[in-house]
Amino acid sequence: MALADYIAEKPVIDTARLRLRPLRPDDVPALEKWMADKALYAYWGKGPGKTDKKPALLFAKPAKPSKSFHLGIEEKATGKVVGDLWVYRIENDRTATVAIRLAPSRHGRGFGTEALSAMTRFCFDCTELRHLRAEVDVRNAASRRMLEKCGYRREGPVRHGKMVNVRCDFCVYGIRPGTAPRPEIEAASRV
């Protein structure tokens, strides 16, 4: 498979506790419970935008075909979307940026590590991507730990750089095939 194979139909990736899948209009009530929470944006590089405050706007226009992924993180036990994950800024079908956020009520449970590990494995096993990177505010210790648990390594600091809309010190983390995510996380599979 290749990134081009996922332009029209995005993947569904299952792990032990989570399902990464395209967001749907029936997810709006769950998204409204956490997306506008200002605490979520402390290290995000911007505050909540229009679609964060009103998630129904995500479905106001038809989705444009894209090689990028924006998937919801569904907690299987509840059937609710408790986070979302992006693979975007794809360069030459070889390098991409990843970003993840979780509802504050789900922090500290390993959901981020489980979701990002599965997405990383999917990208390397099912697409031609060979380098994934993430930017994280140096003050965000929890996100740095999550990336490291997933096999991402610090590639370098950026001093007073622009992360989305905010000037701050941040680190760039990256991973390549061969530095696989933790083995106890189930392998990603397309359903």
pLDDT mean over 144-159? 96
User: Over 90: is that where the pLDDT of 120 sits?
Assistant: yes
Domains by residue range for the chain, with CATH: 3-175 (3.40.630.30)
Q: What is the rounded end-to-end Cα distance, in angstroms, of the chain?
A: 14
Per the prediction, the chain carries an average pLDDT of 91
Question: From CA 73, how far away is CA 133, in angstroms rounded?
Answer: 19
Q: What is the pLDDT of residues 68-79, one digit of tens each?
A: 999 999 999 999
* Range 70-94 burial, b when 16+ CB lie within 10 A, else e: bbbbbbeeeebbbbbbbbeebeeee
pTM (two decimals): 0.91
User: Over 90: is that where the pLDDT of 186 sits?
Assistant: no
Q: What is the pLDDT of residues 17-61, one digit of tens each?
A: 999 999 999 999 999 999 999 888 888 888 899 999 999 999 999
